[in-house]
RNA sequence: GGCGCUAUCGUCUAGGGGUUAGGACGGAAGAUUCUCAAUCUUCAAACCCGGGUUCGAUUCCCGGUAGCGCUACCA
């Protein structure tokens, strides 16, 4: 008998994705919660790939899942283990269950089952398996197997009584055993079903806690029965509510991106995504606190603070987190991510000096909402090939006189010996006073000429950043805009 | 259909037998100025419905409704 899981000194948890698709946001959050819990208690996180469905599982998906986890900053201590390499263990366990009288051979074919199920339902009866094979004598079963008849192994669910467990988030959940059919443990092809493989593996890998999606809540009593039949105490379960789309249905492609890789590709920064995900269904003791790095998340995380109801994925809030994180990320950290975005659009920066690029990043990052902004909105800060926003031209440069003045202004800057933020401003203001025009008109016009945008940081900071030569050249081009 | 779970602003949530029901995103308005997607200020916005229990229920209990999940030789 194992000891009470909740009193274990060092918790052991696992994340067990099925590689039949990329890492989706629901799975990512489950992984995150497991990780936060394990790190909070100094436990062990095991990664297990549940690839018993050979048809749908691919190695490519496994790589995608691992990439997604790494991107989110989730690391693991053991694994990845592959269920496909542990098939013997499942067969032996099923065999043992038969020997101990907890399971039996079932010779019903899939067709027969479907037929009888349909017939039962037509009569308004119970669609559960009718236990036809439950009482076949051991010798007969052996004989039929020897004769090569295909068979599955089913668990013999007790006819009476009920099964319950105490979930860390939902509390006590109880099911009447009569609601649970004699489920299959081992398929006729020799492969285990989910219920068998999870239990056998969680047992073999000495899991103390099972944190997974709430879609498994109704399946849990089956697994609890299996643990009991195997003579052990089940681990502590914690079921995490599901993530829904804006229409309150299960999140799917219809709602946009569902894989974490897609968010990476969309210019979301990993810290933002992790922070956002952590707050979907969980909140720290001080719920007014929202910005949390991994350290804070780990310190504050607690299973009991997980929400019981499903949460809707709010893209707007994610974007907000993204802008906050981009602003907070140091330029050194941001630059490599930005360079990936440049690569995607073929932008080759005119500047190669890292420090200079970093200071440019710092200049514009407060206005960024997405990493892509550095390759689109902010192109002019890094490249001489950028588009000019026509509405900005319309708004600030439609006056021919302004254009002329900007060209004149360029000549003045050309003659400056020092080109500083304060100095450039003085030149414009003096020039405006001289011409009896509002400085704002010139500043706004110059902004469009320099950045192609009507929106930008302080003009003089931009000039200082662009440098004298580039500032002059772009101002001179004002008349062509 | 059966079984299970859930229910606080549009969304994420805090709270809890007596509160002006708090915060955040988003929305609206205003301020600022050199533009704004930045910043600051302000505003609107919620306890699903019906019964109990109670001096008092949004909070506890029951029922309803709704949503979600499970009901496979998928995981």
Residue A477 has pLDDT above 80, yes or no: yes
Residue A29 has pLDDT above 60, yes or no: yes
Which one, of A109, A113, A107, lies nearest residue A128 by Cα?
A113
Q: Is the CB of A179 under 7 A from strand B?
A: yes
What are the start-end ranges of the H helices in A303-346?
A: 315-328, 331-345
What pLDDT band is residue A251 in, cutting at 50, 70 and 90?
A: confident
Q: In DSSP terms, which residues pair with A47 in a beta bridge? A: A15
Residue nearest to nucleotide B26 (CA to C1'): A316
What ipTM did this prediction achieve?
Answer: 0.94
Among the listed ranges A157-161, A237-241, A398-402, which one has the minimum average pLDDT value? A398-402
Q: Across chain A, what does the average pLDDT equal?
A: 92
Q: What is the pLDDT of residue A438?
A: 85
Question: Among all strands, which nt has the closest C1' to A107 (CA)?
Answer: B73
Q: Is the CB of A279 under 7 A from strand B?
A: yes
Q: What is the pLDDT of residue A2?
A: 36
The whole model's pTM is what? 0.93
Residue A8 has pLDDT above 70, yes or no: no
Catalytic amino acids of A? 253
Residues A386-390 have a mean pLDDT of 87
What pLDDT band is residue A249 in, cutting at 50, 70 and 90?
A: confident
Q: Verify cis geometry, omega within 30 degrees of 0, for the bond prior to A80.
A: yes
Which tokens sit at A3? Answer: 């000891």
What pLDDT band is residue A6 in, cutting at 50, 70 and 90?
A: very low
Q: How many angstroms is C1' of B70 away from CA of A218? A: 5
DSSP label of A56:
T
Q: How many angstroms is C1' of B26 away from CA of A310? A: 20
Task: For residue range A409-422, list pLDDT tens digits in order.
Answer: 888 888 878 788 88
Residue with tokens 């693991």: A76
Q: Is the CB of A458 under 7 A from strand B?
A: yes
Which tokens sit at A52? Answer: 């018993």
Q: How many angstroms is C1' of B18 away from CA of A317? A: 35
Q: What is the pLDDT of residue A55?
A: 81
Residues A39-47 have a mean pLDDT of 97
Task: For residue range A320-368, list pLDDT tens digits in order.
Answer: 999 999 999 999 999 999 999 999 999 999 988 999 999 999 999 999 9
What pLDDT band is residue A375 in, cutting at 50, 70 and 90?
A: very high
Q: In DSSP terms, which residues pair with A172 in a beta bridge? A: A166
The A 322-351 residues near strand B by Cβ under 7 Å are none
Task: For residue range A122-152, list pLDDT tens digits in order.
Answer: 887 888 999 999 999 999 999 999 999 999 9
Q: How many angstroms is C1' of B30 away from CA of A456? A: 23
What pLDDT band is residue A262 in, cutting at 50, 70 and 90?
A: very high
3-state secondary structure of A235: coil
Neighbouring C-beta atoms of residue A169, cutoff 10 Å: 20
Q: What is the pLDDT of residue A202?
A: 97
The A 61-90 residues near strand B by Cβ under 7 Å are none
Q: How far is CA A320 from CA A111, A291, A296, A442, in A?
A: 53, 11, 19, 33
Which tokens sit at A6? Answer: 């909740």
Task: For residue range A277-307, list pLDDT tens digits in order.
Answer: 999 999 999 989 999 999 999 999 999 999 9
CB–CB of A243/A276 below 8 Å? no
| Distance (Å, whole) CA A368 – CA A327 | 7
| Distance (Å, whole) CA A141 – CA A47 | 38
Q: What is the pLDDT of residue A5?
A: 45
What pLDDT band is residue A53 in, cutting at 50, 70 and 90?
A: confident
Q: Is the CB of A18 under 7 A from strand B?
A: yes
CB within 8 Å of A76: residues ≥ 6 apart: A15, A35, A45, A46, A47, A69
CB within 8 Å of A419: residues ≥ 6 apart: A413, A463, A464, A467, A468, A471
Which one, of A38, A37, A15, lies nearest residue A27 by Cα?
A15
Residue A395 has pLDDT above 80, yes or no: yes
Question: Among all strands, which nt has the closest C1' to A287 (CA)?
Answer: B14
Which one, of A235, A172, A173, A170, lies nearest residue A209 by Cα?
A235
Q: Is the CB of A305 under 7 A from strand B?
A: yes
Task: For residue range A173-204, list pLDDT tens digits in order.
Answer: 999 999 999 999 999 999 999 999 999 999 99
3-state secondary structure of A218: helix
Q: How far is CA A211 from CA A149, A150, A236, A281, A304, in A?
A: 39, 36, 8, 13, 12
The A 118-157 residues near strand B by Cβ under 7 Å are 127-129, 150-152
Q: Is the CB of A200 under 7 A from strand B?
A: no
């Amino acid at each position: 008998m194992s000891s009470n899981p909740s009193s274990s000194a060092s918790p052991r948890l696992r994340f067990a994705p099925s590689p039949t698709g990329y890492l989706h946001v629901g799975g990512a959050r489950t992984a995150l919660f497991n990780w936060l819990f394990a790190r909070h208690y100094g436990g062990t996180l095991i990664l297990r790939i549940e690839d018993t469905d050979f048809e749908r599982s691919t190695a490519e998906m496994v790589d995608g899942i691992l990439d997604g986890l790494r991107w989110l900053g989730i690391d693991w201590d053991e694994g990845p283990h592959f269920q496909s390499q542990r098939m013997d263990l499942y067969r032996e366990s099923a065999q043992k269950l038969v020997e101990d009288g907890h399971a039996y051979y079932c010779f019903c074919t899939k067709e027969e089952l479907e037929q009888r199920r349909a017939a039962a339902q037509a009569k308004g009866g119970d669609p559960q398996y009718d236990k036809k094979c439950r009482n076949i004598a051991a010798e007969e079963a052996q004989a039929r197997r020897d004769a090569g008849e295909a068979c599955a192994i089913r668990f013999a669910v007790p006819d009476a009584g009920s099964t319950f467990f105490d979930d860390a988030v939902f509390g006590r959940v109880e099911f009447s055993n009569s609601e649970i059919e004699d489920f299959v443990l081992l398929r006729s092809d020799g492969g285990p079903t989910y219920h068998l493989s999870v239990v056998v593996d969680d047992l073999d890998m000495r899991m103390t806690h099972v944190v997974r999606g709430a879609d498994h809540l109704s399946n849990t009593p089956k697994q609890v029965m299996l643990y009991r039949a195997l003579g052990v105490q089940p681990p502590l379960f914690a079921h995490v509510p599901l993530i829904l789309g804006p229409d309150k249905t299960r999140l799917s492609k219809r709602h946009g991106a569902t894989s974490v890789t897609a968010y990476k590709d969309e210019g979301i920064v990993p810290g933002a995504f992790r922070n956002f995900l952590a707050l979907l269904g969980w909140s720290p003791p001080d719920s007014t606190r929202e910005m949390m790095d991994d350290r804070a998340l780990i310190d504050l995380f607690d299973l009991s603070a997980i929400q019981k109801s499903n949460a809707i994925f709010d893209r707007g809030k994610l974007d907000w987190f993204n802008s906050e994180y981009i602003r907070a990320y140091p330029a050194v950290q941001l630059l490599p991510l930005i360079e990936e975005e440049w690569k995607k659009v073929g932008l080759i920066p005119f500047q190669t000096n890292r420090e200079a690029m970093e200071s440019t990043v710092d200049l514009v990052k407060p206005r960024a909402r997405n990493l892509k902004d550095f390759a689109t909105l902010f192109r002019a800060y890094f490249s001489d090939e950028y588009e000019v926003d026509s509405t900005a031209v319309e708004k600030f440069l439609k006056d021919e006189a302004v254009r002329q003045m900007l060209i004149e202004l360029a000549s003045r800057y050309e003659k400056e010996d020092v080109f500083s933020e304060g100095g450039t401003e003085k030149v414009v203001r003096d020039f405006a006073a001289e011409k009896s025009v509002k400085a704002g008109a010139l500043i706004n016009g110059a902004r469009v000429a320099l950045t192609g945008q009507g929106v930008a940081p302080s003009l003089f900071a931009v000039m200082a950043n662009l440098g004298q030569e580039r500032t002059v050249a772009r101002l001179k081009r004002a008349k062509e805009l």
